[in-house]
Structure 1
Amino acid sequence: MSTAAPFRLLLPLHPPLTPRRHSAPVLPSVPRRGTVPSPRLRLRLRLAAGGGDAPPPAADELDCVGTGSDVECVVDGDPGAEEGVAPALAGREWWEWVSLVSPFFFWGTAMVAMKGVIPKTGPFFVAALRLLPAGALVVAFAAARGRKQPSGWAAWGAIAAFGLIDAACFQGFLTEGLQKTSAGLGSVIIDSQPLTVAILAALFFGESIGAIGAGGLVLGVVGLLLLEVPALSVEGNNTSVWGSGEWWMFLSAQSMAVGTIMVRWVSKYSDPIMATGWHMVLGGIPLLVISVLNHDPALNGHIQELTWSDIAALGYTSIFGSAVSYGVYFYNATRGSLTTLSSLTFLTPMFASIFGFQVPLSGRDLRT
C-alpha cells in the first residue's frame, strides 16, 4: 500500500478481534511569555510501522492529516482562554508605556517648577534640595522592600563616582543654566544627551546605531548648533562661554549621558534602586556646601519669603522630579536598550514647553 497519499485517520479496514479503547490525550497549550495562546494546537506524530491496529478517537476530539508515517494533528482548545489573556497583556503593555514616559514628564514639569523658585532660593540650594530628600526617600523605600545595602569599597566607590557625575554635576549645571535660559530651550539642549548616549553605548556595550541612527545623530548635532550658536551671538562678544546658559545646559546633558552609561557598571556592585538613592544623597552633599559658600538667598535670611506655592514647587521637584523619576528611569536603564530609553528624553522639552506657558516669561526668555 502506498504511503505517499494524504489521508485522514478513520477506523482501520481490518480491526483486531479484541479492540482496545484509547483516549486521545489533549495536551494543554503552554503560551510563550507575552503571547496569546492559540485555541488550536498542532501536533506532529510519528506512527510506528504496522501500528494501525488501534481505532482512533472521534473526529471531533482529534483531527489528523498526514502523509505516510508523518502525521499532523489539530486539537480543539479553549477559545475563551484568549479572552482572559488579551486584557492582561494590554494592561501590562499600558503600564510599561507609562513607566517609560513618566520620568520625562516629571523632569519637564520639574524644570518649570525650578525656574520659578531659583531667583528666591539660589541655584545650588534648589539642586541640593532636589537631591537630598529624594535620595533619602528612595533609600528608605528600597530598605522597606528588602533591598540589600551597598557593601565594600567597590560598591561605595562606584556609587560615589556615579553621584558626582550624574547627581552633583548634572543638577549643578542644570540649575546654573536655568538662570540664563528658559525652561523650554534649556530642556531641548539638556535632552540632547541621547546623542552622546548612543555613541557611548555603541563603544562600551556594542549597541548598534545603523544608518538611520547615524543620520539622526547628524541631524541632532545640526539642531543643537542652530539652537546654541545664535543664542551665544545674541549675548554679545563681551560674554564668555561660561556666562551662557546654553553652555551650562550642554554640560548638564553630557553629565546625564555619562551617568546613564554608568548605571550598568554601578549595578554590578550594588542593587540599582539602592544605588539610585545613595547616589542622590552623596551628590547632594557637595551641592549643599557650594550653596553655603555661594551665599544662596535661601540660606541668608530670605527663606521666609517663600510662598506656599514655592514650597509646593520645591516638594514636587524633589519627590516627583527626582525620587520617582530617577528610580523609574534607572530601573528601566538596567533592563533594555540604553539608546532606545534615552531617545525618549526628547519628550522632556515638549512637557517643559507646554507647562512653561503657565509661567510668566521674562525679557530673557522671550529673546531665547
Structure 2
Amino acid sequence: MDLSKKWVMVVIAIFCSVLWGSAFPALKLTYAELQVESSDVTAQMVLAGIRFLIAGLIVIIGLLIFNRSALIVTRSQWGVLLLFGVIQTSLQYLFFYIGVSNTTGIQSAIITSSNTFFTILIAHFIYSNDRLNWQKCIGLFAGFIGIIVANWGQSFDANFTLTGEGFMFLSAFTSAVGTIMAKQMGKGIHPFALSGWQLTIGALILLVIAVPFLPAGSFHFTPLAIGLLIYMALLSAVAFALWYSILMYHKASHVGIYKFFVPVSGVGLSIMLLPGESFSIQIAFALIFVALGIYLVNRK
C-alpha cells in the first residue's frame, strides 16, 4: 500500500480516529468494571501503564518477528524516544486518564478535539509550507462547530475543574506536541519502532512511579474488564503505528484535521455502548460540519 497517496492517508487517518474515539466509552466501561474511583489517581496511572505496556510490546514483538532491523536505533535516537515516550505516552495519558474520570464522556470528547487546533497552530509556526490561511481557519471553525452541535444539550456546560476539563486540555496539547515531534524528530526511525518504543518507555515510567503506591486489591478484574483492557491496548498499538506511518508522508496539519472524527465517533459509540446516551439529530448535522471542515482545509 502506497502511504504517500492522499486517499490512503484519508482512510488510515479516519480509521485511527474511530479507534481513538472508541477509547472514551471503553475507558468509562473499564473504570466501572474495575470499580476505579475518580479520585484514585494511582490506580488510573497503573491502568494506563498496563494498557500501553501491552500495546508497546505488541508492536515490538511484531517487529521482532517480521522486521527485526527496524528496531535498531542509534544512541542519539534513544534520547528522542525517551522524550517522546514522556510527552506522548506518560504525560498525555496521565492527563487523559485523570481528566476522563473527572468529566463526562461528552465533555472529554469535545475538549479532545482541541488537539487539532493545537497541531495546526504549532505547524503554522514550525513549517513554512504549512501556514494558516482563511480556508483552514474556516474549516477548523466548521469542524469545531460540528462537534459542539453534536453535543449541545448533552451535559455540555461551562463548569471547569483543573483535574477534569483542565487535564483534558493538557492531554490535547501534549497530543499535538507529540504529533509535531513524530513529524520533526522521528526521521530515521521506523514509524512502527517509534510507536512501539515510545509506548513501552512511557508505560514503564507510569508504572515505576505509581505501582509502589498502589494499595492491594485496587482492581477487581472481570472477564469484561480484561477484554476491554486488551482491546484498548490493541487499538493503541494499531492506531499509533499507522498514524506515525502516514505522518512520514503528509503534512501534520493535513493529517491532524481528521482527528475531528475522534470526538464524533466517541459520541456515537458512547450512545451505543453507555447507558443513558441517546441519538439526536445533532449528530447528523455534526458529521456534515466535520466533512465540510475537512474539505475546506484540504481544498487547493
**Cα 1:347/1:294, change in 2 over 3 Å:** farther
Give 1:151 deviation, angstroms: 3.0
Aligned to 2:76: 154
Matching residue's letter, 1:230? A
Aligned to 2:57: 136
Mapped partners of 1:99, 1:108: distance in 2: 14
Aligned residue among 301, 305, 324 for 2:217: 301
Aligned residue among 320, 324, 339 for 2:238: 324
Matches within 5 A, 1:1-368: 97-119=10-32, 120=34, 121=36, 122-146=43-67, 147-206=69-128, 207-217=130-140, 230-232=158-160, 241-243=161-163, 245-295=164-214, 300-303=216-219, 305-320=220-235, 322-357=236-271, 358-361=273-276
**Cα 1:273/1:300, change in 2 over 3 Å:** same
**Cα 1:114/1:332, change in 2 over 3 Å:** same
Deviates more, 1:146-155 or 1:245-254: 146-155
TM-superposition CA deviations, 1:145-187 (whole Å, max 9, x none): 3243243331000011111101111111100001111223212
**Cα 1:346/1:220, change in 2 over 3 Å:** closer
Secondary structure in 1 matching 2:217: coil
Secondary structure in 1 matching 2:21: helix
Which consecutive residues of structure 1, in runs of 5 or more, have no partner in the other structure? 1-33, 35-91, 233-240, 363-368
Give 1:341 deviation, angstroms: 0.9
TM-superposition CA deviations, 1:176-225 (whole Å, max 9, x none): 0011112232122112111111111121122122112234556778989x
Give 1:291 deviation, angstroms: 2.9
**Cα 1:132/1:180, change in 2 over 3 Å:** same
Aligned to 1:51: none
Compare relative contact order (CA 8 Å, sep 6+) and give the higher one, 1 or 2: 2
Matching residue's letter, 2:51? R
Matching residue's letter, 1:129? I
Secondary structure in 2 matching 1:126: helix
Greater gyration radius: 1
Kept in 2, the 8 Å contact 1:108–1:351? The answer is yes
% of aligned pairs identical? 24
Deviates more, 1:252-261 or 1:152-161: 152-161
Secondary structure in 2 matching 1:230: coil
Q: How many positions carry a matched residue from both structures?
A: 257
Matching residue's letter, 1:199? L
Mapped partners of 1:95, 1:343: distance in 2: 15
Mapped partners of 1:265, 1:140: distance in 2: 26
Secondary structure in 1 matching 2:159: helix
TM-superposition CA deviations, 1:224-280 (whole Å, max 9, x none): 9x9987122xxxxxxxx434x111100000000000000123322422211110000
Secondary structure in 1 matching 2:158: helix
Mapped partners of 1:182, 1:354: distance in 2: 14
Mapped partners of 2:137, 2:179: distance in 1: 20
CA RMSD of the aligned region, Å? 2.7
Mapped partners of 2:234, 2:97: distance in 1: 17
Give 1:96 deviation, angstroms: 5.0
Mapped partners of 1:293, 1:167: distance in 2: 20
